[in-house]
């Protein structure tokens, strides 16, 4: 890759410099066509492990594998050239040891060409953040509601309802920040907690269900495009693609059944070879 191609992409410096400035626009992307559409319009594309639920129909993100993340990361990198691309480290790929975390993060970086990885970072994970950053791997942290911890939490539960829980989220955020993460996702917390964390950490915060008090916002793209019947309260639907797709498929099915498709316009009229 030429230096020129590389310089077209946003860098970790651009993202880190957004602290307190214009809000970072971030969305998830899992496929090449979606990445191509979002690339010009977003600062950050996250190849989130939500891909397991959104694309593969898994009940949680716990079953997502490193191979799935690499495959989707490659598709997103192929189709984007401007946005900063972060790939999630899936459950079980970084918690066992610092070596495990480095080997798997390095594999993601080498095989996808992405700019950074994201890890769901309880306070214990600060050592992992530091280990990766020291070895050349930019890390986005993820605090508050951590979907990979759904089995210990007993579901997807907003965080910070008690003082103890609130203090734990603040401690997670400060630990990841001090360990050198370049940005952090804050998920599922009330506005005052998001505001306190955003004030107290050096890196930009990116909220999902965490109010406007963050330095940027992220949503699962399929949620905001209206691909699902149900979405969490914090999602704003900007389209109703489910309806649009259903109407298109109904139209196709009725045309096929009525032998109205294909018509003359969609049919090859090949001249006979002499």
Active-site positions read 187
Residue choice 18, 42, 45, 49 for contact with ligand KIV (CB under 6 A): 49
Tokens of 28: 């998830």
Sign of the CA dihedral with 156 first, then 160, 161, and 163 last: positive
- 3-class secondary-structure state, position 19: coil
Count Cβ atoms below 10 Å from residue 119 Cβ, excluding itself.
Answer: 25
Quote the distance between the C-alpha of residue 187 and its chain's center. Answer: 12
Q: Does the footprint of ligand KIV cover residue 53 (CB under 6 A)?
A: no
Residues from 14 through 43 that contact ligand KIV (CB under 6 A): 28
Binding residues for ligand KIV, rule CB under 6 A, total: 11
The residue sitting closest to ligand KIV, measured at its beta carbon, is 48
* Binding segment toward ligand KIV, per CB under 6 A, in 7-15, 46-54, 192-200, 265-273: 46-54
Residues from 169 through 198 that contact ligand KIV (CB under 6 A): 185
Tokens of 31: 């496929």
Alpha helix ranges (H) inside the chain: 3-8, 12-16, 32-39, 51-54, 66-79, 98-112, 126-134, 150-153, 163-179, 191-200, 221-224, 241-257
CB of 106 to ligand KIV, least distance (A): 21
- In the bound state with ligand KIV, the residue whose beta carbon lies nearer, of 142 and 159, is 142
- In the bound state with ligand KIV, the residue whose beta carbon lies nearer, of 130 and 142, is 142
Question: Can you give the length of the chain in residues?
Answer: 274
Residues from 196 through 255 that contact ligand KIV (CB under 6 A): 208, 218, 220
CB of 256 to ligand KIV, least distance (A): 36
- 3-class secondary-structure state, position 40: coil
Task: Name the site residues for ligand KIV (rule: CB under 6 A).
Answer: 28, 46, 48-50, 88, 142, 185, 208, 218, 220
């Amino acid at each position: 890759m030429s230096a020129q191609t590389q310089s077209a992409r946003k860098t970790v410096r651009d993202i880190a410099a957004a602290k307190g400035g214009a809000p970072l626009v971030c969305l998830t992307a899992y496929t090449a066509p979606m990445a191509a559409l979002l690339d010009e319009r977003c600062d950050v594309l996250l190849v989130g492990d939500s891909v397991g639920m959104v694309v593969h129909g898994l009940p949680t993100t716990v079953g997502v594998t490193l191979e799935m993340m690499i495959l989707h990361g490659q598709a997103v990198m192929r189709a984007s050239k401007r946005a900063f691309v972060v790939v999630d480290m899936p459950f079980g790929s970084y918690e066992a040891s610092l070596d495990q975390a480095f080997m798997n993060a390095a594999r993601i970086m080498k095989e996808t060409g992405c700019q950074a990885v994201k890890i769901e970072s309880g306070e214990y994970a600060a050592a992992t953040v530091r280990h990766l950053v020291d070895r050349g791997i930019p890390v986005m942290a993820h605090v508050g509601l951590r979907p990979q911890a759904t089995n210990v939490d007993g579901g997807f539960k907003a965080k910070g309802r008690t003082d103890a829980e609130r203090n734990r989220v603040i401690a997670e955020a400060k630990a990841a920040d001090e360990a050198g993460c370049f940005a952090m996702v804050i998920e599922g917390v009330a506005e005052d907690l998001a505001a306190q964390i955003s004030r107290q950490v050096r890196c930009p915060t990116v909220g999902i269900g965490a109010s406007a008090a963050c330095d940027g916002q992220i949503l699962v793209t399929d949620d905001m495009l209206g691909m699902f019947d149900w979405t969490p309260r914090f999602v704003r639907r900007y389209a109703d693609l489910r309806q649009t797709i259903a109407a298109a498929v109904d139209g196709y099915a009725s045309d096929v059944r009525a032998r109205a498709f294909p018509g003359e316009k969609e049919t090859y009229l090949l001249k006979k070879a002499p």
